[in-house]
Structure 1
Amino acid sequence: MVNLVVTLRKKSQGIWRSSFVRSVAVVASGTAGAQAVTIAFAPLITRLYGPEAYGVQGAFISIMSVAAPIGALAYPISVVLPRRDEEALGLLRLSAYISFFIAALIAVGLWLGGEAVISLLEIESISTLIYLLPVAVLFAAWKQMAERWLIRKKAFGVIARSALANSGFLNSARALAGFVYPSGAVLIVLATVAEVLHALLMLIGIRKRTTIDLSESSEVSTSNVIELAHRHRDFPLYRAPQNTINAASKSLPVLMLATFFGPSTAGFYMLSQMVMGMPSTLVGKAVSDVFYPRITEAAHNGENLSRHILRATGSLAAIGIVPFAIVIFFGPWMFSLVFGEEWSMAGEYARWLALFFFFNFINKPSNAAVPVLGIQRGLLFYEILSTGGKVVGFLLGFYWLNSDIWAVAIFSVVGVIAYSGVMLWVYLCAVRWDRDKKAV
């Protein structure tokens, strides 16, 4: 027994000494702090604003989430891949050009057809604020650019501190504004300001905490930028549409609930989505941010990629199984207790979303491995099928069963099947990669 304890202690010390685990802990600590602030303020904010205000905010954030992945056509994701910083800086320059063009394109689109979107989602009360969307998308793209450079430089502490500071500002502002003017319009303005602030905090962190010579970007000529754009063309061709479709599939319930059942129902879903998505934000994203450069390095060094993916996925499953199971059994009671009696329906949604978000949580390593394995075209095909299935499931719940709960339930089950399939596919691709490397 003593030998077993000693062995376990040595194993745990060895795991903690791992640079991968320490990096995950740094990112997770900042995200945990940000989520802790959100959780601490949530009971107050939900009582100040109510389901309808949350639903209006949810419609805006859902539209922004769908537009944000094409804000720089996914080129920022490729910043981690080049061996030389000069190429990475060229990709950042390319991303910046594209982000301004896309933001201008969205502004023109809203000017021409914004009224139709407002009418469809029944958000006439905040009609003028829909024009904040280009600003939010632009700074979401800049935030992603800054974050990917920090990941490349392994400056995970800057990412953590930025997330914590931004969460503190956003939730404090929500609470203070809620006492004065508790409305969906206030939540939308603050969500946009938070995107701007988060991007600026990361850019400040880059200047202070990373060894970057900004003049180096001038060494990348326009012709070189075009060459980099062509070399990494699989990102705009496959990853940007995949990310957009994935965001659409996650935003779909909020938009469809707002359209079919009204803003209050969308507000219930918005809260349950926020709570159930916390483990993915807290640990899953931290693992993904650290795992991406790690598996890129492993591929460069000829290491066994399938083993890395399997180990990371298993670790996340062990971490997530208990908290998600608790929500399945006690969701409505927990939501009523914490957020107020009027939020009980959000707990019913959370019961089903727990299944969906558990598989979303453990899918993070597989998703991070996709660009390294060069299978982004296949991921796009998967995303189209997955989103199509979720749309059909949601429409089935509404038109056939005439129930918002059944619509959310079918959506979640389809998502579980889709995540299971893509994890198996990525693992098999990694096994083939390992086999091909050995054969060379």
Structure 2
Amino acid sequence: MSQNTFRKNIITLMMGTTIAQALPLAFMPIITRLYTPNDFGVFAIFVALATILGAIATARYEMAILLPKKEIDAINISALSFLILTLFSFFIFIIVILFNTQFAKLLGNAQISLWLYFLPITLFFIGIFNILTMLNNREKNYAIISTATILKSVILVSSQLLIGFFKSGATGLISGQILSHLFANMGLAKGIIKDKAFFNTIKKEKMINLAKEHKNFAIFQTPHALINALSSNVPIYMFSSFFTMSVVGFYAFSLRIVFSPLSILSSSVAKVYNQKVVEAYHNGEDSYQLTKVLLIKVTKTMIVPFLIIIIFAPQIFAFVFGENWKEAGIYTQITSPFLFLNLLVSSISFIPSLVGKQKKALTVSIIHLIFSVLFILIGVYFKNIYLSLGLFTLVYSLILWYNLNWMLKELRVRCVAKKDIK
């Protein structure tokens, strides 16, 4: 692939991601006047459940779709992922049928009870989206991926707006989430399933052999993905159990507003950085210095916006989204340190894979999860949401700071070792 083609592909994906992220943000001042913090709380619980279970729904086999040289192998890995996804979704459906009431009580909100029945189909749609995205990525159908991402966002926003005008509560928010994945999947499928020959290449024996060949995705990446998803969403579950649903809504909304633009920046930086650091690392160049320069540039770019957030977030939220959402601005003030550090760490999160330290990355994630729960519980004990948020931010920031320094140290050691060998 030429450098120009590489840049073109990145720009195509970035444009789709940017538009898809910008649409919900652009209409958020209207959406926040159609839905209450309580509605966003119910929605946040549903999305958190879907995110956590979605992380393991295919046993991460869809991540292996890009690896095989033969097209027939990629198709059979896709079929394997689809089979695991179908069985997992059906299993969750049975669990929801049998234990719906108990789960609703555990989550601390009776309103979520109805929506638990929609969780299996949501998981199924999310899994299909991930599989089809990987298949299109393999085929270099970047325009199709970009278009589907934008379509997903358009359906999400339009559904939430249309249903929201009927004062439907969380129904509009959750329905939009489900419908957006359905329509996006239809768009992605067009680029892959062109004729019956696609299905004729799927063989049971082939799927079994490929499952064994790529078993590390199920054994190592699945628990890591689960731990990461739990760590990210543990505040939502704990706040729903020990505080009000409005608290959950404020927290989820504050993250949604800040994380959307940050994710665009971090994912864009990471894509370019990953390619450059691998090239520099294998060529014996100073990838450590490259990483330091990148982090300094990101810090200089984002320090002023974050200072504005720390000082003026409540006033900004109240003005843009309505007075009801001023509390979410306070939450944003409290959590801004870990949001800033997370931006830096996310930009260079490929380093553990580059230097072969995935096992340690998993260990750090487990420690992060344990301490997050413990520190939030201190605030729960004192019945103080600000204390819970502050302590959660403290432990998250410390873990991120450790991650940042640990990754830089590992990279520096490898760079020195490579120079010594030369």
State which of 350, 358, 362 in structure 2 corresponds to 1:376: 358
The amino acid that maps onto 2:35 is Y
State which of 229, 253, 260 in structure 2 corresponds to 1:271: 253
Confirm whether residue 424 of structure 1 aligns to residue 405 of structure 2: yes
Question: Counterpart of 1:238?
Answer: 220
Question: Counterpart of 1:405?
Answer: 386
Question: Counterpart of 1:334?
Answer: 316
Question: Counterpart of 1:170?
Answer: 156
Question: Counterpart of 1:361?
Answer: 343
CA distance in 2, matches of 1:201, 1:301: 40
Question: Counterpart of 1:113?
Answer: 99
Q: What TM-score do you get using the length of structure 2 for normalisation?
A: 0.88
Query: Structure 1 residues 375 and 88, CA, compared in 2 at 3 Å: closer, same or farther?
Result: farther
CA distance in 1, matches of 2:17, 2:361: 27
Query: Structure 1 residues 30 and 178, CA, compared in 2 at 3 Å: closer, same or farther?
Result: same
The amino acid that maps onto 1:336 is A
State which of 200, 210, 216 in structure 2 corresponds to 1:228: 210
Deviation track 1:227-279 (CA, whole Å, cap 9, x = no partner) reads: 33233322222221111121112211122212211111111111101011112
Q: What TM-score do you get using the length of structure 1 for normalisation?
A: 0.84
Q: How does 1:183-222 map to 2 (within 5 A)?
A: 183-206=169-192, 215=197, 221-222=203-204
CA distance in 2, matches of 1:169, 1:140: 15
Question: Counterpart of 1:64?
Answer: 50
Identity across matched positions, percent? 27
The amino acid that maps onto 1:62 is A
Deviation track 1:371-401 (CA, whole Å, cap 9, x = no partner) reads: 454433222211110111111111112214x
Deviation track 1:87-106 (CA, whole Å, cap 9, x = no partner) reads: 43333222112111111111
**Superposition deviation, residue 225 in structure 1:** 3.0
**Superposition deviation, residue 205 in structure 1:** 3.9
Query: Structure 1 residues 155 and 383, CA, compared in 2 at 3 Å: closer, same or farther?
Result: same
CA distance in 2, matches of 1:149, 1:435: 38
CA distance in 1, matches of 2:272, 2:89: 29
Confirm whether residue 46 of structure 1 aligns to residue 28 of structure 2: no
CA distance in 1, matches of 2:62, 2:418: 28
Structure with greater proportional helix content? 1
**Superposition deviation, residue 354 in structure 1:** 2.1
Q: How does 1:53-132 map to 2 (within 5 A)?
A: 53-132=39-118
8 Å CA contact 1:126, 1:184 repeated in 2: no
Question: Counterpart of 1:11?
Answer: none
Deviation track 1:35-72 (CA, whole Å, cap 9, x = no partner) reads: 22111211111111111111111111111111110011
The amino acid that maps onto 1:77 is M
Deviation track 1:203-243 (CA, whole Å, cap 9, x = no partner) reads: 334458xxxx9847755754443333233322222221111
Confirm whether residue 137 of structure 1 aligns to residue 135 of structure 2: no
Query: Structure 1 residues 344 and 118, CA, compared in 2 at 3 Å: closer, same or farther?
Result: same
Question: Counterpart of 1:281?
Answer: 263
Unaligned segments of structure 1, at least 5 residues: 1-16
Q: What secondary structure does 1:367 align onto?
A: coil
CA distance in 2, matches of 1:315, 1:23: 24
Unaligned segments of structure 2, at least 5 residues: none
Q: What secondary structure does 1:47 align onto?
A: coil
CA distance in 2, matches of 1:117, 1:368: 36
**Superposition deviation, residue 128 in structure 1:** 2.2
Confirm whether residue 262 of structure 1 aligns to residue 244 of structure 2: yes
8 Å CA contact 2:288, 2:408 repeated in 1: yes
Across the aligned residues of Structure 1 and Structure 2, the Cα RMSD in angstroms comes to 3.0
Query: Structure 1 residues 144 and 235, CA, compared in 2 at 3 Å: closer, same or farther?
Result: same
8 Å CA contact 1:28, 1:283 repeated in 2: no
Q: What secondary structure does 1:80 align onto?
A: coil
Query: Structure 1 residues 72 and 404, CA, compared in 2 at 3 Å: closer, same or farther?
Result: same
CA distance in 2, matches of 1:421, 1:90: 40
Query: Structure 1 residues 200 and 433, CA, compared in 2 at 3 Å: closer, same or farther?
Result: farther
Greater Cα offset, 37-46 or 184-193 = 184-193
Q: How does 1:27-38 map to 2 (within 5 A)?
A: 27-38=13-24
CA distance in 1, matches of 2:374, 2:368: 10
CA distance in 1, matches of 2:168, 2:226: 31
**Superposition deviation, residue 335 in structure 1:** 0.4
**Superposition deviation, residue 149 in structure 1:** 3.0
